[in-house]
Amino acid sequence: MQTSNNAIIIGSGVAGLATAIRLQLKGYNVTVYEKNDYAGGKLAAFKIQGYHFDAGPSLFTQPQNIIELFELANEPVENYFNYTSVDVACKYFYANGKIVVGYANTDKFANELQQQLGESPKVVNDYLSSAKKLYTNIAELFLNNSLHKRKTWFNKNAFIAFKAVKFSHLFKTLHKHNSSKFKSPEATQLFNRFATYNGSNPYKVPSMLSLIPHLEMNEGVFYPKGGMVSITDALVKLAKKMGVTFIFNTQVDRIIHTSGLVKGVVVNNQNIYADLIVSNVDVYFTYKKLLNNTQLANRVLKNERSSSAIVFYWGIKKEFKELQLHNILFSNNYKEEFDCLFTKKTVYTDPTIYINITSTIEPAQAPSGKQNWFVMVNAPANVGQNWEQIKQEAKANIIVKINTLLQTSIEDYIEVEEILEPITIETKTNSFMGSLYGTSSNSKFAAFFRHPNFKGNIKQLYFCGGSVHPGGGIPLCLKSAKIVSELIQSKN
């Protein structure tokens, strides 16, 4: 029997959790179905022998997206969630021996680039100022609203955004833009890396993505106490207090829709009726499995998939003081690395390595005198490669690179190891081909080709999460939840 104002969320990723909270606060009776025995999707964690590892996302920016949810619920965020700002956003190590400390303070960072790379502080500050303007004038509009609704394009903010867009923002690559701004290849490489924030190629993405550094370098980097999973824990706790129902270890088999209107879902051969459905599942799988529409699923694949990753979770029985919370060991040939990822569909022999060590901020995240290393390299989406061989080769190359940097034998200190690769990412999180961000931004108009947050010919069906507008990563997933909530409100 159908009950008024019932809403079903399929998947409990961060976007699904935020959507559940927003809809519950709007008066819906919300039920979240999750196929795993835990919430959070990629934003999960695990422990081994006293080592805590965040399983997925490790960078925390724009805490205001989370704070807003608690303000809407009239709940004090500090009772659920605590975080602190980080003085060093990232530490960069180059193959030629140069080291750059990415201070969160923009003036200190500009001076660091002058001292280490010979860059003009004015050039650096102008770049970051431009990133802020781009974000304020353009991204604020497009990331917080549906691109597929007429009202988004017919207001004064849209006029401001159009006025701010330059030809080069769309028709000049991020690499060309950065290489024209900085005189050192190291600074260019540093700012090129922000294309990877949505799994893309800096040698193909439009220079519009030069706004991404604003989030980290102007607004700041933060660390959530308890690790990134504390975001998930806080949102689940808030959702439950608001009355959201969670059903774990339960996979939705199909979305019921007739005459262009959703009716509910099929779970364990039972029809569960609802007034609206929000899918927090990869949009490809939503069409392929939940709507049984292969044709629409294949349309999603017309847009190039984003990159994936191989992650080594290492318990290291030693402390390396030269490493920070976030660390990047750059490849000596960045262009070849991205050619390998997107053209050759493999991992480069000299990969850029990201090392996240939360125990540098919160010592309790590892046993005393030890560190929890989250070691990640970019990997291509899964197209049937020999991942066992790729993992072995990647690990060997990573160890050589780390040993050279730290003048050590890191393999002697690894006492715990778990590995994550694209196939496992797909299995655990329903991210098709293991792509971390759905589609890449490797085209001029990729933002406009990303799937909308609703389905026009199936009323009351909505989409949130990293595979749809506005994109992947925690801030954008939380924004997708807000967009969905506002779309639903405008319909009722």
Helix residue ranges per DSSP H, 154-266: 156-164, 167-171, 174-181, 185-192, 213, 229-242
Residue range 110-216, CATH number: 1.10.405
Q: Report the mean per-residue pLDDT for the chain.
A: 94
442 vs 288, residue with greater confidence = 288
Residue with tokens 């017919």: 154
- Which residues neighbour 423 within 8 Å (Cβ) at sequence distance 6 or greater? 382, 387, 434
Q: Summarize pLDDT for 378-392 with one digit per residue, the tens.
A: 999 999 999 999 999
Instruction: pLDDT band for 168, please (50, 70, 90 cuts).
Output: low
Within 8 A by CB and 6+ apart from 111, the residues are: 121
Question: Quick one: pLDDT at residue 325?
Answer: 98
The model's pLDDT over 322-377, given as tens digits with 9 standing for 90+, comes to 999 999 999 999 999 999 999 999 999 999 999 999 999 999 999 999 999 999 99
Q: pLDDT grade, residue 401 (50/70/90)?
A: very high
Alpha carbon distance 69, 189 (integer Å): 36
Between 137-141, 174-178, 410-414, the lowest mean confidence (pLDDT) is in: 137-141
For position 163, what pLDDT does the model report?
Answer: 62
Q: What local confidence, expressed as pLDDT, does residue 492 receive?
A: 57
Planar angle of CA 313, 57, 235, nearest 5 degrees: 120
- % pLDDT > 90, the chain: 85
Q: Is 444 exposed, middle or buried (0-12, 13-18, 19+ CB in 10 A)?
A: middle
Tokens of 225: 């106490």
pTM tops 0.75, yes or no: yes
- What pLDDT shows up at residue 442? 84
Q: For 15-72, what is each residue's pLDDT tens digit?
A: 999 999 999 999 999 999 999 999 999 999 999 999 999 999 999 999 999 999 999 9
Half-sphere exposure of residue 101, counting CA atoms within 13 Å on the CB side? 14
Q: What is the pLDDT of residue 447?
A: 62
Answer for the pair 240, 12: CB distance below 8 angstroms, yes or no: no
DSSP 442-469: -STTHHHHSBPSB-TTSBTEEE-STTBT
- In this prediction, residue 74 carries a pLDDT of 98
Split at pLDDT 50, 70, 90, the class of 247 is: very high
Residue pLDDT, tens place only, 183-192? 999 999 999 9
Q: Which residues of 118-154 are buried (b: 16+ CB within 10 A; e: fewer)?
A: ebebebbeebbebbbebbebbbebbbebbbbbeebee
| CATH node for 6-40+226-302+439-491 | 3.50.50.60
- 317 within 8 A of 293, measured Cβ to Cβ: no
pLDDT of residue 159: 61
Q: Return the closest-CA partner of residue 217 out of 243, 197, 245, 239.
A: 197
- Phi and psi at residue 350, in whole multiples of 5°? -120, 70
CA–CA separation, 126 vs 148, rounded Å? 33
With a CB cutoff of 8 Å and minimum separation 6, the contacts of 140 are: 157
Query: Mind giving me the DSSP string for 245-311?
Result: EEE-S--EEEEEEETTEEEEEEETTEEEE-SEEEE-S-HHHIIIIIS--HHHHHHHTTSPBPPEEEE
| Domain ranges across the chain | 6-40+226-302+439-491, 110-216
**62-109: per-residue pLDDT in tens?**
999 999 999 999 999 999 999 999 999 999 999 999 999 999 999 999
Rounded-to-integer distance, Cα 99 and Cα 164, Å: 35
Single out the residue of 307, 288, 310 nearest to residue 299, CA to CA.
Answer: 288
Please give the share of the chain, as a percent, with pLDDT higher than 70: 94
The DSSP element (H or E) to which 66 belongs, if any, is helix 64-72
pLDDT at 282: 95
Please state, in angstroms and rounded to a whole number, the distance separating the CA atoms of residues 84 and 225.
Answer: 8
CB 328 within 8 A of CB 351: no
Could you give phi then psi for residue 128, rounded to 5 degrees?
A: -70, -30
